[in-house]
Amino acid sequence: MLSRLVRLNRSRRTYSANVRPTPPKKDDDFRPPWVYTFSRLLSYTMIPAAVMYSVLFYDFGDRDHVFQPARRWVAQQKIAFLTLSPEEQQLADTSRKSTDEPSI
């Protein structure tokens, strides 16, 4: 029994929680360093773009789905951004009237 414990204790490897093993460096890598930077930037932009497309634009059919509240919120924000307030509407009407009148 004691010999089993000694064998188990020897076979265990101690790892520090803060140290990660680094992959071996390959000297024969033919790719320039900008390839890695470009692929990282591409993944950081394409993944959020795919998520945004699937949440806001993908057609899930006529039934309600989990993204309906987010789509409704975005629609309300678009309407609020694209419509004029009553003061702005009045200002637009007065400027439209002044441009519609023919000048002599």
> What is the value of pTM for the model shown?
0.54
* DSSP 8-state secondary structure symbol assigned to residue 57: T
Contact of 56 with 70, CB cutoff 8 Å: yes
67 Cβ neighbours under 8 A, 6+ residues apart: 54, 55, 56, 60
Condensed to tens digits (0 to 9), the pLDDT of residues 45-78 reads: 999 999 999 999 999 999 999 999 999 999 999 9
In the chain, the N- to C-terminal Cα span, in Å, equals 112
Contact of 84 with 92, CB cutoff 8 Å: yes
Condensed to tens digits (0 to 9), the pLDDT of residues 7-44 reads: 665 655 666 667 666 666 667 788 888 999 999 999 99
Q: Where are the alpha helices (DSSP H) in the chain?
A: 2-11, 33-56, 68-82, 86-100
